[in-house]
Amino acid sequence: MAMKKAERQRCLQQVFAEEVFVTDEELAKRFGVSVQTIRLDRLQLGVPELRVRIKELAEGAFRNLKALTTSEFIGQPVEIELGKRGKSILETTWEMGLERTGIVRGHHIFAQANSLAVALIDAPVALTGSAVVRFCLPVNVGDKIMANAHVKSSDGRRALVGVESFVREKKVFEGDFVMFARTLS
């Protein structure tokens, strides 16, 4: 039996609170309704479309960045807590992929993770000293990569930042980045 509109909208509010990056298509499948029904529900709930939600989060996160400018960041930061943790999202395009297979080249995935690690450093200059990384699964062109990073340890001049990247719930990348903080001189 189909869920009633009021009940579906209550459930949608909870989903949007927990899963900021959920798409209308994913919700339509989850609730067994059309994409248009989800769009109408979202409109009635005052929840903007995914791109607007991402843009709003990115604008808030960019205010916190010290070591990078917006044009230097790979992907879009959606949450940055300097010295602690952060998240970013990268929407992959055909330019990032291998022509024959449509698989995203690894340096794009690494660049997203590295720029997120740099962004977490609470200093005007942050440099990557080394990285130990592992590519877990291939990423297809068109996938959205969600990177989650956290500072594992820091002494103010040197930090170890762990990054894990996911497409949906599947881990596609993980790495530990040794970062060095410097002042401008």
Domains of the chain with bracketed CATH: 5-47 (1.10.10.10), 64-182 (3.10.129.10)
Q: Provide the strand spans (E) within the chain.
A: 76-81, 85-91, 125-135, 144-154, 158-167, 170-182
Task: Identify the pLDDT of residue 57.
Answer: 63
Is residue 117 within 8 Å of 70, Cβ to Cβ? no
**46 phi/psi in degrees, rounded to 5:** 75, 25
Task: Identify the pLDDT of residue 63.
Answer: 61
What's the whole-model pTM score?
A: 0.69
Say if residue 59's pLDDT is above 80. Answer: no
pLDDT tens for residues 141-175?
Answer: 999 999 999 999 999 899 999 999 999 999 999 99
Query: For the residues 52-67, what does the mean pLDDT come to?
Result: 62
Task: Identify the pLDDT of residue 134.
Answer: 98
pLDDT band per the 50, 70, 90 thresholds, residue 48: confident
Return mean pLDDT, the chain: 87
Taking CA atoms, 70 is separated from 62, 76, 131, in Å, by 7, 9, 23
